[in-house]
Amino acid sequence: MDEHDLCRLEMRAFFGYDSPSNVIRSNVKIDPSRSPFMKERLEVLFSGNDIDELIRQAAEFVTHKTFKVTCLNSIALDTTAKLRQPERRSMVRQIGEAIQGEAELLEPEVNFGIVLLEGIWHFGILQESEPIWRYHMKKPHMYSTALSTRVARAVTNIAVPHPEGVRAIDPCCGIGTVLVEARSMGIDIVGRDINPLVCLGSRKNLAHFGLEGEVVKGPIAEVTDTYDAAIIDMPYNLFTHITDEGQLDILKNARRITSRLVVVTIAPLDHMIAEAGFKIIDRCVAKKGTFKRQVVVCV
């Protein structure tokens, strides 16, 4: 799947801007395991104009945890070329020997990283991404028309980039692909669908991964609570035979219950989104061969 634009949209949701390079600098702290696109995060503790300056600072650094040091320049990063393995190994050894603590290569309690970017060396705590979403790819109940797990996770992050204090709803949750991703990230979300069989399947999928979450049978029109965000993978004619009027009704009810909406659709819905009272603030197209899904962010 061509997910370049989806990655950029998720990045804008997380950080407020995106980057044309493979590195983004931000003070916003995001667990890299949340994103299907992020590889790692380095929480910078100190920096130096050259490796000797970094070594001097490392010599004053004390850790009471066993540690390992990794050099992140194994690939080209932005405009900084890849460093050869002997050079990376030498840098890691020098920094590791300077740190006041006990090195442990196999099972360290903390991972440190060093990286050269645009002539400046940085040292910090390294958190590598764990592809949790991959474990959710094989669900006991699946539909061929459901979002892929990867897309569902990114869409969830776009809708709820910063979950603290946020209540969300997926009012057309289907088999629960979004619910599984959201609940696995600790997002407070409820699900709803008009089909009792898919509600049951959604509950079973959540339970299969040891997740808890409310899934209610019923249309969005019956929702009485309000939510900070909603995610709607719009039902479409291939599967549900929904009418244009039915889609508009879903959007109007979404306007009633939420101030932020992310819609996933295979057909343009801009006119309906506007008629429902939403304003489009961002969007992208996720492609899989000739099949395209629009991801539209509305407020």
Tell me if 31 is assigned to some domain: no
Domain enclosing residue 152, as ranges: 132-298
CA distance 17 to 9: 9
Q: What is the tens place of the pLDDT at every residue in 205-221? A: 999 999 999 999 999 99
- Tens-digit pLDDT profile for residues 228-247: 999 999 986 445 568 899 99
Domain shared by 67 and 91, yes or no: yes
- Does the structure show a pLDDT above 80 at 130? yes
Residues 124, 145, single domain; the answer is no
- On whether residue 13 sits in a domain, the answer given is no
The least confident of 8-12, 136-140, 289-293 is: 289-293
Q: Which tens digit of pLDDT belongs to each residue from 239-282?
A: 556 889 999 999 999 999 999 999 999 999 999 999 999 999 99
**Residue 148 and residue 233 in one domain:** yes
Do both 194 and 77 map to the same domain?
no
Q: Are 184 and 209 in contact (CB under 8 A)?
A: yes
Do 95 and 163 fall within a single domain? no
Q: 196 and 109, same structural domain?
A: no
Domain identity same for 272 and 180: yes
Number of domains in the chain: 2
How much is the pLDDT for 236?
65
The CATH number that applies at residue 219 is 3.40.50.150
Structural domain contains residue 11: no
We report the CATH number of the domain holding residue 103 as: 3.30.2130.30
What does pTM read for this prediction? Answer: 0.93
What pLDDT does 117 receive?
97
